[in-house]
Amino acid sequence: MSGRHDKCILLTLIAVLHCVAIPSVECIQQKEHRTAAAAERPNDLRCYVCESMDPLFGHSCVHAPATLKQFEKRCRDDARICMTKRFSYTTSTENTTSEPRLFSMDRNCTSKCEPGCIIIGERTKLYACTECCESNLCNTGNGAGPSGPGRYPAWGPWGGLLPCVYVPLLAPWLLQ
């Protein structure tokens, strides 16, 4: 029995070494496995796809995406979520804070989407907000961030941990 056990271990080690030595072998592919039913499911989702930085149609992308048919695109592959992403900023003094100013807005199809806002900064605050939806042509919102129940607060899913991440990274620079 000992000889059989040793052969089993040896074959296992050979298989593992084969996979490590030849990364293109199927045993360690980094692909997502899909059943036949999942692969056959057609992606009929349509989203508005545009960027505010577009010199010709940027204004329409921000304010009225539904007015231009050219923004309507059929999503491909596993992109089954419509998304609106907004980048904006505010500036503050001791007594006042400016209204949020839009820097850019993107509307697109995506495979992964985390709704909410992340805010970085104190006097100048940068806002990165994302809205997600899963029905046809649903990404018409302003991307200012969700505020309903079950949504993330302004710091996003990390709560008050964001300063704990950035302060240690900035500490060497601040101490100079």
pLDDT digits (tens, 9 = 90+) for 49-75: 999 999 999 999 999 888 889 999 999
45-157, CATH topology level: CD59 (2.10.60)
* CA pseudo-torsion sign 65, 72, 33, 28: negative
Number of other residues whose CB lies within 10 A of the CB of residue 42: 5
pLDDT by residue for the chain (176 residues), tens only, comes to 455 544 444 344 344 333 333 333 344 445 556 666 656 678 999 999 999 999 999 999 999 888 889 999 999 999 999 999 999 999 999 999 999 999 999 999 999 999 999 999 999 999 999 999 999 999 999 887 644 323 333 333 333 333 434 434 444 433 44
pLDDT score recorded for residue 66: 86
pLDDT score recorded for residue 27: 42
pLDDT score recorded for residue 101: 94
Query: Do the Cβ atoms of 134 and 45 come closer than 8 Å?
Result: yes
Query: Do the Cβ atoms of 65 and 140 come closer than 8 Å?
Result: yes
Q: How far apart are CA 117 and CA 10, in angstroms?
A: 52
pLDDT score recorded for residue 69: 92
Amino acid at 81: I
For the chain, which residues make up each domain, given as ranges? 1-31, 45-157
